[in-house]
Structure 1
Amino acid sequence: MTVEAPPAVSYGALVPVSVHFDDLDALGLLHNARYPLLVERAWVAYWEARGVGFEGDWAAAGDFCNAVKELRIAYDAPVTRTGGYAVHLWLERLGTTGLTYGFRFCSADGLTTYAHGTRVLVRLDPGTLRPAPWSDALRSAGRELLPPRD
């Protein structure tokens, strides 16, 4: 299934995703466990479009050697059909070793929100699996995803 690129958002990034038949539950609704999966796929697509790959090598992963500390999600409206949707991604906080990103699972045009939430990641040292600082490259790229501050 081909998904067209969604329109621009005022901050962060709007990344197209597809909902398939096997993502739906027995009642024909997008299964609650699929929302975080689709958000994760949107993040991978976002970074891969910027030349960052995911090979599974902890030492080579750099900033992508990280772990989820917390995931919060609220479901606003049911998704009842397969097809093209989008995930709006942004950074809420970029700390020394952790970051919080926000997301909205939404219609392809970004106008209807079906679910929203946050996820906290901690950057890990590949040898010790203890918190480690984010690189300057990630900090620079991450600034593009921060919402404007009043």
Structure 2
Amino acid sequence: MTAEAPIAPALSYGRLIPVTVHFDDLDALGLLHNARYPLKVEQAWTELWQEHGIHFDGDWAAAGDACNAVKELTIGYEAPVTRPGEYAVHLWLERLGNTGLTYGFRFCSADGTQTYARGARVLVRLDAATMRPTPWSEGFRAAGRALLRPAD
């Protein structure tokens, strides 16, 4: 008889993306370093957008929607991560504008039941030539709409 993996809770919005915390992600106290949370969230977003064909291969002019910049980042820490292992990031969009978006995230247990940190980040889509805001592509917008959090 084999042990079955725990079933992730049903999410009413967004996606739960697995991430790994390694020993070298921990600080001197044995806690996940505060600067690693945004890095793990970025890794989860990168994986999610790559599923939709959005990625950066070294050419900003060809990067399309991957050419964007962070305007704002907020994060609150709720419980310490005290060991390496498998975790997850719950990702969703709060707002999808013409040239910008706001996404929400939770750094959580692999099954999504325990929240360690939560936050939001504002991104602006940039034109690679001018570095000025430019609209998201329709393909990006379609993928983004599927991630929108419903209004409460």
Distance 1:4 1:66 in 2: 36
Distance 1:57 1:146 in 2: 29
* Pair 1:18–1:123, CA change in 2 (3 A): same
The answer to whether the aligner puts 1:22 opposite 2:6 as a matched pair is no
Q: Deviations over 1:102-147 (max 9, x none)?
A: 0000000101100000000000011100010111111101011011
Distance 2:72 2:7 in 1: 29
Q: Deviations over 1:9-41 (max 9, x none)?
A: 211000000000000000000000000000000
* Pair 1:87–1:68, CA change in 2 (3 A): same
Q: TM-score, normalised by structure 1?
A: 0.93
Q: Any residues of structure 2 matched to 1:1-150 within 5 Å, and which?
A: 6-150=8-152
Which amino acid counterpart does residue 56 of structure 1 have in structure 2?
G
Q: Deviations over 1:52-80 (max 9, x none)?
A: 33212110010111000000000000000
Distance 2:136 2:7 in 1: 29
Coordinate RMSD, CA, aligned: 1.7
Distance 1:4 1:18 in 2: 17
Q: TM-score, normalised by structure 2?
A: 0.92
Q: Which runs of 5+ in 1 are unaligned?
A: none
**Paired residues, number:** 148
* Pair 1:50–1:8, CA change in 2 (3 A): farther
Distance 2:109 2:69 in 1: 28
Q: Residue 69 of structure 1 contacts residue 122 of structure 1 at CA under 8 Å; is this kept in 2?
A: yes
Kindly state the Cα deviation for residue 45 of structure 1 after the two structures are TM-superposed: 1.0
* Pair 1:22–1:69, CA change in 2 (3 A): same
Q: Residue 9 of structure 2 contacts residue 113 of structure 2 at CA under 8 Å; is this kept in 1?
A: no
